[in-house]
Amino acid sequence: MVLVTGGAGYIGSHTVCALTEAGFGCLVLDNLEKGHIEAVKGVPAIRGDLRSPSDIEQAFCSYGVTSVVHLAAYSEVGESVQFPDKYFENNVTGTRNLLDAMETHGVDKIVFSSSAAVYGEPKTATIDESHPTAPSSPYGESKLRAEREITSRDIKSVCLRYFNASGASPTHNIGEDHSPETHLVPRLLLSLLGRTTFQIYGSDYDTPDGTCVRDYVHVSDLARAHVDAVRFLENSPGNHVFNLGSGHGASVSEVVAAAAKVTHKSISPLVTGRRPGDPSRLVASNELAKKVLGWAPVHQDLETIVEHAWHWHRRFPDGYKGVII
């Protein structure tokens, strides 16, 4: 049984689907602050918080947990700048509580949802796992501290450093639904459905068109990587770090152009100032994940990623409020 913390969230729900389809039993532990129970239909779930050791204990005592996929975290760069203590308590202390429970119950395998935010402002065009870690936000620092908590324990681990998760499952009724929504692709698409406004945060970055460049990786590809990582840990001791990205970058303006092409709608966004903590460019080298995990993104085309997200948002413009359990 794989315990998936944060399993009712955006990446978590896609990961639960991928693990289930691969033949793994899953137990979801989620406080549903950001997650949606509708996203994990048919999967046993406990409503609980990693800041509460008793909630974690309930999960380990209720099922025969053999490994953990840990995705429960606050993940907004801007919010972390405003409320750093909130991020360290949830992301770092919560991870420590989870690790304590794993040790108590003899569970020695964990796959951790980390982030490219641990790298900070990049020093190279593409970032590999040897790049220095120098987070430029409390969010990134909280992820790096959580990684260090994990590697300080006598357990087997894989830390997956995500770049920009995007898109939605093309085969299941699950997608991205945050409140408030801060991620680029859903903000853009929801604005076309009249559900929110869309702004570009900064056009004066040191990039070809002045807008931030990011590596957009399909959420279903990220989900598959967790399956690969769980299998990898069955026979691989030690601590491992892998970047998960497409290997190429797209600017905010290029994402807007892709959305206009997919939706056949004219888009004229308002350009405002930068958000604090946003690096100008984050693009992955995913060669190590390809070589060691045997993982590679399937949905590499930006328009495909946007198209899958558009299908979800057009079908469920109010998110999981429109999904029938």
The values of phi and psi at residue 322, to 5°, are -95, 5
Q: Is 309 helix (H, G, I), strand (E, B) or coil?
A: helix
Q: So what's the pLDDT on residue 275?
A: 84
pLDDT value at 323 more than 80? no
13-59 pLDDT per residue, tens: 999 999 999 999 999 999 999 999 999 999 999 999 999 999 999 99
Q: So what's the pLDDT on residue 179?
A: 85
pLDDT value at 311 more than 60? yes
| Least confident span in 226-230, 273-277, 303-307 | 273-277
Query: What pTM value is reported for the model?
Result: 0.95
Which residues are tagged catalytic?
A: 139
Identity (one letter) of the amino acid at 180? P
Using CA atoms, how far apart are residues 57 and 96, in angstroms rounded to an integer?
A: 13
Residues 6+ apart with CB under 8 A from 289: 225, 242, 243, 244, 295, 296
Using CA atoms, how far apart are residues 13 and 11, in angstroms rounded to an integer?
A: 6
239-272 pLDDT per residue, tens: 999 999 999 999 999 999 999 999 999 998 889 9
Q: So what's the pLDDT on residue 321?
A: 86
63 or 88: which leads in pLDDT: 88
Q: So what's the pLDDT on residue 181?
A: 85
C-beta separation of 75 from 115 below 8 A: yes
pLDDT band, residue 151 (cuts 50/70/90): very high
C-beta separation of 167 from 308 below 8 A: yes
Q: So what's the pLDDT on residue 222?
A: 97
Q: So what's the pLDDT on residue 279?
A: 83
Enter the tokens of residue 141: 């620092």
pLDDT band, residue 324 (cuts 50/70/90): low
Using CA atoms, how far apart are residues 305 and 309, in angstroms rounded to an integer?
A: 6
The closest of 220, 216, 142 to 175, measured between CA atoms, is 220
C-beta separation of 191 from 256 below 8 A: no
The mean pLDDT value of the chain amounts to 94
Percentage of residues in the chain having pLDDT higher than 90: 86
* CATH topology assigned to domain 2-322: Rossmann fold (3.40.50)
Mean pLDDT confidence for 211-232 = 97
Would you tell me how many other CB atoms lie within 10 Å of the CB of residue 230?
23
Within the chain, what is the greatest distance between any pair of CA atoms? 56
Q: Is 280 helix (H, G, I), strand (E, B) or coil?
A: coil
Torsion of CA 229, 230, 231, 232, to 10 degrees: 40
Using CA atoms, how far apart are residues 279 and 233, in angstroms rounded to an integer?
A: 32
